[in-house]
Amino acid sequence: MSHPLLNKLNDLIKKYHLYAFKDVIIFMVILLAFHVLWKIFVTDILAVDFIRNSAHWLAGVVYETSKWFFHVTGMNVIAFDQIKIFNSMHDNVFFYAETNGYVYVNLSCSGLKQFYQWFFLMLLYPGPWKHKLWFIPLGLIIIHIVNVFRIIGMVVVTMNIPEHWDFMHDYVMRPFFYVVMFFLWVWWNEKIYLKSKKAKETAKS
């Protein structure tokens, strides 16, 4: 039996045609809940060998792909697979001598969190599994490409406007992940899920 409050909420949604708004709320709740849980349990999550090794491997892939891009474009960036900076060893480092700037591709830059975030978003959000089987991997590939260009973008910031590095990292590049996920979700919701739902309703009637 439905709860009276839920019935009122559904009536309100139907009356004012707030279906899209409801879907956006579901998207935001799933994404935000995962973000909070990851932040709380990140130490425990990365303590799992498989996850930590996956993050290391993925960070290496992002680093190598970015390094290839700098090589092909002839950008004056020095890449270090490992280097000691301020008495600490760092892996996957890009160095730009003119500004003495460094960009590290560490575990948090691997994109692994966003991979899991996307996977669980699609796992929890409704829709036909026959389409999820190809749409989830497609989303992961797009997120990975975005992450590579995020690292490239941060190196370009280091080269040209290093004084704005923190702002670009925290308020431009990092949120861009979620902008991409949002448009991927809109694609799923509008072009696949709702069309599939409408087709089923038509078939029933």
- The confidence score (pLDDT) of residue 152 equals 95
pLDDT tens digits, one per residue of 93-129: 999 988 888 999 999 899 999 999 999 999 999 889 9
DSSP state of 162: G
Q: What is the per-residue pLDDT across 146-189, written as a single tens digit (0 to 9) for each?
A: 999 999 999 999 999 999 999 999 999 988 888 999 999 999 98
pLDDT tens digits, one per residue of 17-57: 455 677 888 888 888 899 899 999 999 999 999 999 999 99
Residues 148, 66: contact at Cβ < 8 Å? yes
Residue numbers of the domain that contains 148: 18-75+109-204
84 within some domain = no
Q: Is residue 96 part of a domain?
A: no
Residue 87 domain flag: no
In a domain, 1, yes or no: no
Q: How many domains does the chain have?
A: 1
Radius of gyration of the chain (CA): 21
Residue 115 domain-assigned (yes or no): yes
Q: What is the pLDDT of residue 9?
A: 46
CB 103 within 8 A of CB 93: yes
- 160 in any annotated domain: yes
Residue 178 lies inside a defined structural domain of this protein: yes
Residue 141 domain flag: yes
